[in-house]
């Protein structure tokens, strides 16, 4: 299965990160680094043919630093990034069996490496959410979806955007798309007490009913709908946290000046969606102020953000817990994210210098000035992998890729 990676011999592994690439461009860049710059670029169609044959494997070592002055066993945590190599166009339900097998194989790599805690990124957490018994025998390795810290950074981002836009959160109507998922329901519990009204949207009517009843019991003014157009014009704060296989969400007509948080991985909002006057930002992201190092160097490839050392909250949760030396399954299942749990993991993360990342969207950084457009840029798929198909196929069958 190719679980090994060249790196630091005998290094103790505190954490492992399991992920996959959300676009063919990102997958191409990962393959390019793995194979080296001496190889010529591959056409996109060849990359699409090759990627499904690459087994899950460790891609690189990751080292993160803490800003805390007193940290047990030093001020660093060492880990691995393991890519499941789920093809970006195979995230649909029809591919669930194959994708689950890939996540299980990636988990086996983490266990074999001796990782103490493993964070499940992107669709890895969605596939395993509530099904942790699907993972291999874990020995001394624990797993977390990382969703609690993701919720924390989404909520922090909403509050920061409201401050930047001079918006009063308490007079706002909040819409959560994908409300019954682990992240969506967590955002509902954390934000509902601080807004005027909550609109919940998801596909499963029964889960919507249960979540609405829970919030209603807390005195929240809440409405539900499985049809998104019914709500899109009523909300002035929108959290997009649906489990979508591709950026395909169309919010439709939306109130002018609405704040829209796209917290999906892959992104929720469809490329080219026009929402004039909307204030869009990408949510759920944190920044490691103590520094992060990849071996080999994957800076700007595995973390494709306009700011240094920015990572999705789902992966950062495992890093924060590793720095804290708390190797425990902090986030598991669906429906257990509460404001108290969010505050706890935020405190742990902040102690080690893991904080809300600077806000940005497809047009670039937000905090340096007002957002001029509500256009979500289409991803660039024109970058190519610098390797040959024959070499990748040979390496894959040999267990080296």
Write out pLDDT tens, residues 255-277.
888 999 999 998 999 887 778 88
pLDDT of residue 134: 77
Contact in structure between 348 and 324 (CB atoms under 8 Å): yes
- What domains can you pick out in the chain, each with its CATH number? 15-148+286-354+384-394 (no CATH), 150-285+357-365 (3.40.50.720)
172-204 residue pLDDT tens: 999 999 999 999 999 999 999 999 999 999 999
DSSP strands (E only) in 11-125: 15-19, 57-65, 76-83, 117-120
Residue ranges of the alpha helices (H) in 217-333? 229-232, 313-324
pLDDT of residue 180: 95
Distance CA 202, CA 222 (A): 14
Structure tokens at 51: 């990627």
Distance CA 296, CA 304 (A): 16
Nearest to 107 by CA among 91, 93, 121, 90: 121
Give the pLDDT mean for 52-59: 96
Q: How confident is the model at residue 102 (pLDDT cuts 50, 70, 90)?
A: very high
Which of 127 and 203 is assigned the larger pLDDT?
203
CA distances from 40 to 35, 50, 161, 383 (A): 10, 15, 44, 12
Residues with Cβ within 8 Å of 326's Cβ and at least 6 positions away in sequence, in order, are 348
Contact in structure between 385 and 47 (CB atoms under 8 Å): yes
Q: How confident is the model at residue 130 (pLDDT cuts 50, 70, 90)?
A: low
DSSP 284: S
Nearest to 32 by CA among 381, 305, 382, 388: 388
């Amino acid at each position: 299965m190719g679980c090994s990676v060249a790196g630091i011999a005998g290094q103790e592994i505190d954490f492992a990160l399991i992920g996959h690439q959300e676009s063919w461009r990102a997958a191409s860049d990962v393959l390019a680094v793995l194979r080296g710059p001496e190889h010529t670029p591959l056409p996109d169609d060849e990359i699409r043919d090759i990627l499904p044959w690459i087994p899950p494997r460790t891609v690189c070592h990751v080292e993160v630093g803490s800003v805390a002055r007193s940290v047990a066993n030093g001020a660093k945590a060492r880990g691995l990034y393991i890519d499941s190599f789920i093809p970006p166009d195979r995230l649909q339900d029809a591919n669930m069996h194959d994708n689950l097998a890939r996540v299980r194989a990636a988990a086996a790599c983490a266990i074999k490496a001796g990782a103490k805690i493993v964070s499940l990124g992107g669709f890895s957490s969605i596939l395993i959410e509530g099904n942790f018994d699907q993972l291999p025998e874990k020995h001394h390795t624990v797993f977390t979806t990382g969703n609690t810290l993701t919720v924390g950074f989404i909520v922090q981002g909403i509050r920061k955007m409201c401050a930047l836009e001079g918006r009063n959160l308490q007079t706002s109507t909040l819409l959560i798309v994908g409300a019954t998922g682990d992240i969506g329901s967590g955002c509902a519990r954390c934000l509902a007490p601080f807004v005027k009204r909550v609109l919940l949207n998801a596909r499963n009517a029964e889960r919507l009913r249960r979540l609405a009843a829970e919030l209603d019991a807390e005195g929240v003014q809440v409405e539900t709908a499985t049809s998104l157009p019914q709500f899109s014009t009523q909300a002035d704060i929108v959290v997009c946290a649906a489990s979508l296989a591709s950026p395909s969400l169309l919010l439709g007509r939306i109130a002018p000046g609405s704040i829209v948080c796209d917290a999906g991985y892959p992104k929720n909002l469809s490329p080219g969606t026009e929402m004039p006057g909307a204030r869009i930002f990408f949510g759920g992201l944190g920044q490691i102020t103590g520094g992060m190092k990849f071996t080999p160097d994957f800076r700007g490839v595995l973390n494709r953000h306009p700011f240094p050392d920015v990572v999705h909250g789902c992966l950062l949760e495992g890093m924060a817990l590793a720095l804290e030396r708390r190797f425990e399954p902090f986030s598991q299942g669906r429906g257990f994210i509460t404001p108290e749990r969010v505050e706890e993991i935020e405190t742990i993360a902040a102690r080690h210098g893991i904080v809300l990342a600077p806000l940005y969207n497809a047009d670039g950084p937000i905090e340096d000035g007002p957002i001029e457009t509500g256009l979500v840029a289409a991803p660039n798929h024109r970058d190519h992998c610098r390797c040959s198909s024959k070499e990748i196929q040979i390496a894959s069958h040999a267990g080296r890729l």
